[in-house]
Amino acid sequence: MTKIETSKYTYPVKDKIRMFSFEMDARSIITYPCYPQRITKGYIEIRGLAWSGRGKVSQVEVSTDAGKTWEIAKLQEPVLSKTHTYFRYLWNWDGTQTEILSRATDETGYLQPTLKQLIEARGQNIGGYHMNPVTAWQIREDGFVFFKPENYTK
């Protein structure tokens, strides 16, 4: 019942409070390319990390068209329970502006949600250590990479 436990591991879920939730849900994040990098046309290896407090990461998908389509990324072995798992995906960038995203699925079948899905499940007052929405990097035509100010919500 310490300050940290009550403030960081307790959060609202609609009209109730989820207290002392220590299990982390599946999450992934792209670590390359990312701000403040600049990429050039051609093949880019998208890389990142995925993890889950529920067990092993079973799959990571990458979207290079702002979430319209998803492709399976390669997981780096060994994939162990409740640990960071590296992933990579080879992408041929044609120079058009887009957004790149990743989403993880763990061995329980839990799929990393969008921000919109999190809000629908937990209500507007979400945050803290259990905030795990799909996030986007915006790639502009000049190759500069920026963090999309709002999380991916489609």
Q: Identify the pLDDT of residue 108.
A: 96
The SS3 of residue 30 is strand
CB 132 within 8 A of CB 26: yes
Contact 110, 72 (CB under 8 A): no
How is residue 20 annotated by DSSP? Answer: S
pLDDT for residue 21: 65
| The predicted structure's pLDDT at residue 154 | 47
**Closest by Cα among 78, 96, 83, 86 to 51:** 83
pTM of the model: 0.87
| Dist CA 98 CA 104 (whole Å) | 20
114 within 8 A of 152, measured Cβ to Cβ: yes
CATH fold group of domain 24-147 = Immunoglobulin-like (2.60.40)
- Quickly count: other Cβ atoms within 10 Å of residue 81's Cβ: 12
Which of 28, 109, 101 lies closest to 71, judged by CA?
A: 101
Provide the residue ranges of all domains of the chain, joining segments of one domain with +: 24-147
What's the average pLDDT block by block, 10 residues per block, for the chain (154 residues)? 68 69 85 95 98 95 97 97 97 97 97 88 70 92 87 48
- pLDDT of 122 reads 75
